[in-house]
Structure 1
Amino acid sequence: MATDLDRQTPDAIAARLSGSPEERAALIREGAEAGLAEAQAVYGQMLLDGEGVARDPPAALRWFMKAAAQHHLMALNMVGRCYELGWGTTPDQEKAADCYRVAAERGLDWAMYNCATSLALGHGVRENKAAALEWLHAAAARGSGLARAKAINFVGSFHEDGWATPRDLRAASRCYAKAAEGGDFRGCFNHARMLGTDGDVAAALPWLERAASLGNAPFVAKAEAWLAASDVVAFRTDGVAALLKGARG
């Protein structure tokens, strides 16, 4: 059955996509209402973020569920995020973990990372750090972009803390460096932390700036507290200054 969207020319669609946030949201909604899974997933994210439309987490979850019912893996992952964080629904860690597991088993790198996090922390499932590490390795090997970088950073934490693998600070350092280069703000901070501990504070400072520029306010506050209490004297002075410089942008 033809829809109004089908009758629009490619140029007309491109013009609407390049218009205001409201115009883009209206176009994506047309696609969502026409049953396009990708549009449903994107419109759900717009509703979650308040991008071009009033923020509405319950409606976002409904659209994510519609797309997930059509086997859209990122939408299924976002259903999990909604359950995990209580976006538009009552928090339910078990349902979140189930969503992550199914999407991870079907190959989504972000779901692999989230599934690993659930297993590592025992959120919604029995804690199983060995299984978590397997999912992190899978996300690092098969994933791309930020999902891959975050997985590599988490693998670094496993090496540093000796979770489900022998403690290996060199392996942790290598992971943190890769995660930092991949744009993960926690990876940037961990890379800086290891550099400073090894005596190279000068090399660490740009990574602290980058960590703050990429991270959120709660992360920056925790990072500042850690630096202020660090055994590395230069972290308590130059490190905090670099972090705050990055936070100010």
Structure 2
Amino acid sequence: MSHSPLTVEEWQAVLAGDPAGAAAALFDAARGGDAHAALHYGQCLLDGRGVARDPQGAFRWFVQAAQSGLAPAMNMVGRCLDQGWGVDETPRLAASWFAAAADKGDAWGLYNYATALSLGRGVAQDRARALVLFRRAAAMGHAKSQNMIGSFHEDGWAVPVNLDVAAYHYARAAEGGDFRGCFNHARMEIAHGRMDSAQRWLAEAARLGHARFRRQMAQWLNGREEAWLRRFAAQILSTDMAPA
């Protein structure tokens, strides 16, 4: 039985509804050859949203969508290969998929390929090229890439150290909702004595970040001389240890 493709508005309504119903609708459309549905159904399987978690199945659907030329799906194939989700961890293949997504202008593909280049993971290290790609992604509004540009300027990777430029990009990353950007922006605010602003962005970093990041954040705060920062660290750790 054939199905007429749904409009963007219709898909938005489906995805905003009951997770199980959304997963079923995506599966139906994906079986019918809809690449976008295959991508989103793969994400449902990867996350266990509305359907039992199945990373191997997710990888297969991402590959199917990627074979149609869908750049975000190419990026997700790369993510699976990079992280070992449903498939053996293979950084070299991951980098090639990230490069393919980046070539199509996908912001996440640009970010992930730039990350691979900056670390030399699965590809020869090339931080100058990585910075070019991070800048392309940042120009598209990609907050994590803004944060990475800040790190390049703070650490002197491929460019001279420039803390003012680093601070600018960290602020943009924080405003874009990147938790690492929030933390790095807070560090810069602390360095300039703007403690009220720093407290606000530390709280936002703790709210948005995952548990491992919060532990790293608390470790940094505990190494500071300011008593209020050490209290903030204790608050983060006590919140994470509290029963759900």
With normalisation by structure 1, the TM-score equals 0.89
Alignment of structure 1 residues 65-84 onto 2, 5 Å: 65-84=63-82
Tell me which of 176, 185, 188 is aligned to 1:191: 185
Does the CA contact (< 8 Å) of 1:208 and 1:243 recur in 2? no
Alignment of structure 1 residues 217-236 onto 2, 5 Å: 217-236=211-230
**Aligned match of 1:181:** 175
Shift of 1:20: 2.4
**Aligned match of 1:164:** 158
Shift of 1:22: 1.1
Distance change >3 Å, CA 223–CA 98, structure 1 → 2: same
Shift of 1:46: 0.3
Post-superposition Cα deviations, 1:50-71, rounded to whole Å, max 9, x if no partner, equal: 0000000000000000000000
1:240 equivalenced with 2:238 (yes/no): no
Alignment of structure 1 residues 20-39 onto 2, 5 Å: 20-39=18-37
1:154 equivalenced with 2:148 (yes/no): yes
CA distance in 2, matches of 1:219, 1:17: 29
Alignment of structure 1 residues 114-129 onto 2, 5 Å: 114-129=112-127
Tell me which of 45, 56, 59 is aligned to 1:58: 56
CA distance in 2, matches of 1:62, 1:157: 35
Shift of 1:140: 1.1
Shift of 1:236: 2.0
**Structure 1 letter corresponding to 2:88:** T
Equivalent pairs: percent with the same residue?
A: 45
Q: Which segment is superposed worse, 18-27 or 202-211?
A: 18-27
**Structure 1 letter corresponding to 2:148:** F
Shift of 1:234: 3.5
Give RMSD over aligned pairs: 2.5
CA distance in 1, matches of 2:106, 2:151: 22
Distance change >3 Å, CA 194–CA 35, structure 1 → 2: same
In structure 2, list runs of 5 or more residues that go unmatched.
none
**Structure 2 letter corresponding to 1:150:** K
Distance change >3 Å, CA 41–CA 13, structure 1 → 2: closer
CA distance in 2, matches of 1:7, 1:38: 10
SS of residue matched to 1:22 = helix
**Structure 1 letter corresponding to 2:135:** H
Shift of 1:105: 1.0
SS of residue matched to 2:165 = helix
SS of residue matched to 1:163 = coil
CA distance in 2, matches of 1:95, 1:122: 13
Does the CA contact (< 8 Å) of 1:73 and 1:108 recur in 2? yes
Does the CA contact (< 8 Å) of 1:150 and 1:184 recur in 2? yes
Flag as ranges the 4+ runs of structure 1 deviating above 4 A. Answer: 12-19, 241-248
**Aligned match of 1:89:** 87
Distance change >3 Å, CA 183–CA 13, structure 1 → 2: closer
Q: Which segment is superposed worse, 207-216 or 239-248?
A: 239-248
Post-superposition Cα deviations, 1:173-205, rounded to whole Å, max 9, x if no partner, equal: 111011000100000000001111222222101
SS of residue matched to 2:146 = helix
Does the CA contact (< 8 Å) of 1:208 and 1:246 recur in 2? no
SS of residue matched to 1:190 = helix
In structure 1, list runs of 5 or more residues that go unmatched.
none
**Structure 1 letter corresponding to 2:26:** I
With normalisation by structure 2, the TM-score equals 0.91
**Structure 1 letter corresponding to 2:162:** D
Distance change >3 Å, CA 13–CA 72, structure 1 → 2: closer
Does the CA contact (< 8 Å) of 2:81 and 2:93 recur in 1? yes
Shift of 1:246: 8.4
